[in-house]
Structure 1
């Protein structure tokens, strides 16, 4: 029986990605859904993209667009960036791409521009998205597509929701009635002092802080089992990651 795995924000941590794929024993017949933010943080952002491009040639993969991936695309196309990106992981990525060939840069531009999805909705009405959405009628009605990879209100609402509320209650957020499950990243669970996937309402947050001091997580969406890498500072002891 084939499995579906979802993988949290990698942020340039290729060593962690190798670990979780090995520990989960995912096979080439299983589907891998990546929630975005492949880059920015640790030193191997280009290598992460190289690896997942090759991985997608061997097994089913779905690649979601993260905000850091969009920022990298802009840099690769224009050679320009804003200081906020530079301070929040962009510097390590810029440094890494100085060692990358022009042909590889073009390949990565193509990947970031044409292979990433704003979201993925499967046949079981499970939504996979990097950050969230704000329209109460769902993703198809979102007026501001950038929110798919920048929004934090969906997760913040899930965290603050009274668990005693039922879906029939008029105070229950309509956004949480649209999909059977929602899988996202973007806002690390380390912000609530956790380093494991967290479930609130129908939302699963799989970003366990790999950009900072947490591990990378791979999660079986059917069984709800998960596997984690070592904390990223242990895998990159001579680097700082994102502060």
Structure 2
């Protein structure tokens, strides 16, 4: 059994499909996606379709990212919320819902099952015996059910991220523009900048092996070591 975590996808459907085809999750593998499925990349609609379809065929734990929160806030809120969301990738997301070439989409073009997924199918974190999976981060002195939203969805990776449980934190959110997973004491970040010319990463949390695919279809793999906080 593997415990597979996929980092921030950001509308990059091609790399997601290539990564799943390469890693080939088995029925007994645990599969977790770390949030930020929408915005910035070219096909947020396709990514949500893929995740919704995937959940129909196998168990998948999909975490909530700050970009899902911003998309929902823009939909429910007023002009200022929508303007802010559009400035951080919402333009590309609505573009993926365009009903015809040359016309961008609107909130009315987003299917009902996508809104249901964003509102009801995502979780704030996932905790196992050895690991904590979260979009952004954790505060080390708080139990997971006590974590504030700003830590779970908005905090950036620092010099260390040690949780009181001693479990290794697997997170995204802090873009690693080097394209390499970033290991610090207590945590590893696998947001490897898929939308910006980097790589989409899948990490087996147990073995430390990772697989990566980029927008050109190139593949590479490697391994990280959590024991001493260094790659």
TM bucket (normalised to shorter chain) is: 0.7 to 0.9
Q: Which residue of 2 aligns with 1:180?
A: 167
Q: Which residue of 2 aligns with 1:66?
A: 65
1:144-196 CA-to-partner distances (Å, cap 9, x unmatched) read 324311111xx2132xxxxxxxxxxxxxx7x4442321000000111xxx212
Q: Which residue of 1 aligns with 2:117?
A: 111
Tell me the secondary structure at the aligned position of residue 158 of structure 2.
helix
Asked whether 1:94 is paired with 2:99, we answer no
1:73-115 CA-to-partner distances (Å, cap 9, x unmatched) read 2234457534332222111012223437958522111111111
TM-score normalised according to structure 1 size: 0.78
Question: With CA pairs under 8 Å and 6+ residues apart, which has the higher RCO, 1 or 2?
Answer: 1
Unaligned runs of 5+ in 1: 159-172, 236-243
Tell me the secondary structure at the aligned position of residue 156 of structure 1.
coil
Matches within 5 A, 1:1-243: 2-78=1-77, 80=79, 81-99=81-99, 105-122=111-128, 124-134=129-139, 136-142=141-147, 144-152=148-156, 155-158=157-160, 175-190=162-177, 194-230=178-214, 232=215, 234=216
What number of residue pairs does the alignment pair up?
210
Separation in 1, partners of 2:22, 2:67 = 26
Separation in 2, partners of 1:179, 1:72 = 33
Q: Determine if contact 2:32/2:60 at 8 Å carries over to the other structure.
A: yes
Deviation at 1:120, TM superposition (A): 0.6
Deviation at 1:207, TM superposition (A): 0.5
Deviation at 1:65, TM superposition (A): 0.4
Q: Which residue of 1 aligns with 2:227?
A: none
CA distance 1:103–1:88, change in 2 (3 Å): closer
What is the root-mean-square deviation of aligned Cα atoms in Å?
2.2
Separation in 1, partners of 2:56, 2:45 = 17
Q: Determine if contact 1:30/1:60 at 8 Å carries over to the other structure.
A: no
Unaligned runs of 5+ in 2: 100-104, 218-231
Q: Determine if contact 1:29/1:59 at 8 Å carries over to the other structure.
A: no
Q: Which residue of 2 aligns with 1:170?
A: none
Deviation at 1:4, TM superposition (A): 1.6
Separation in 1, partners of 2:126, 2:159 = 21
Q: Which residue of 1 aligns with 2:226?
A: none
Q: Determine if contact 2:142/2:164 at 8 Å carries over to the other structure.
A: no
Separation in 2, partners of 1:24, 1:157 = 30
